[in-house]
Amino acid sequence: MRTLYPAAAALILLLAGCSGTTAPPTTAPSGSSASATPTTTPSSMAPSDPEPTTPGNGSGQGAGAPDDSGRFTYVCSSLNEAVPEVTYTSLAEVWASTEYVRLASCTASFEGPLPFEPTEDEARIISIAEPAITPSDGLDTYLTALALCTRVSDDAASDLFGRSSRQMLQAASELCPRSPQGRIIGLWASGERAGDGENAVANGGLVAGKFHLRKTPPEGCAWSVSAADGSKKANGGATEGQSGIILEEKDVLTSDKCGIWEKME
């Protein structure tokens, strides 16, 4: 028995060593979506959710969700008359257009459903533009405000911005302060810009101060400033207009073929 013991002991040690061997790790086949150790993206690197658009916050998305719901469309003309009109389905689409700075102006249309039932935000904009009308009767008013929020070139500004009431301009400014022309609409709404025609320094008109022509006008620019009693205080053409003129309370600025006047800082 003593001669067998060492051999048995050796066999026992050999078996014990084999049982302690660690099997090699398995790997998932290439192309598999399975992962042995899931990876997590640090919170600082995780993509953030887009900022929500809240109706009524002047987001410029047609006063919120309604504009993106297909209720309105916009047909825009180009400064290049040879380029055909383009139709967009939202204000955001107009603003994002690669042709935006080459657009002259746009017309807004209501696509339904009829009858027009304004949202709370749309009713608010209509009430600013025309306080005397019932919002449900204010579709044309709201379409005008939307059109002013699209794109108005300098060539069209005297007609579209200049002929709009202060209330309409304030409504457009409330509707789309984040638009590319939001600041410009605000200047017209505050009475710090004016176009050709008669513009009085009064409540709902121009503010008092020093104004000048933003650009060199075409040939034939003529302007005059009259006092409240009708007496003429000053007049001139392009050169004097670009240098700057003083407008006081109750003055009336009459301008023809001069373009856009802007209050100087």
pLDDT in tens, 98-144: 999 999 999 999 998 899 999 999 999 999 999 999 999 999 999 99
Which pLDDT score, from 0 to 100, does residue 14 have?
40
Contact, 198 vs 230, CB < 8 A?
Answer: no
Which pLDDT score, from 0 to 100, does residue 68 have?
56
Which pLDDT score, from 0 to 100, does residue 112 have?
86
Residues 6+ apart with CB under 8 A from 94: 74, 76, 88, 100, 103, 106, 150, 151
**DSSP SS3 for 19:** helix
The whole-angstrom separation of Cα 196 and Cα 161 is 11
The whole-angstrom separation of Cα 246 and Cα 224 is 11
Pairing of strands 222-226, 232-236: antiparallel
Please measure the distance between the N-terminal and C-terminal CA atoms of the chain and give it in whole angstroms.
115
Per the rule left: phi > 0, alpha: psi between -120 and 50, beta: everything else, 24 is: beta
Q: Which residues of the chain have pLDDT under 70?
A: 1-69
The whole-angstrom separation of Cα 61 and Cα 52 is 11
The C-alpha angle 254, 258, 264, rounded to 5 degrees, equals 80
The whole-angstrom separation of Cα 145 and Cα 128 is 10
Residue 189: both structure tokens together: 């709404």
> What are the two backbone dihedrals, phi and then psi, of residue 14, each rounded to the nearest 5 degrees?
-65, -45
Cis before 113 (ω within 30): yes
Residue type at position 38: P
Which pLDDT score, from 0 to 100, does residue 70 have?
79
pTM: 0.72
Which pLDDT score, from 0 to 100, does residue 97 have?
96
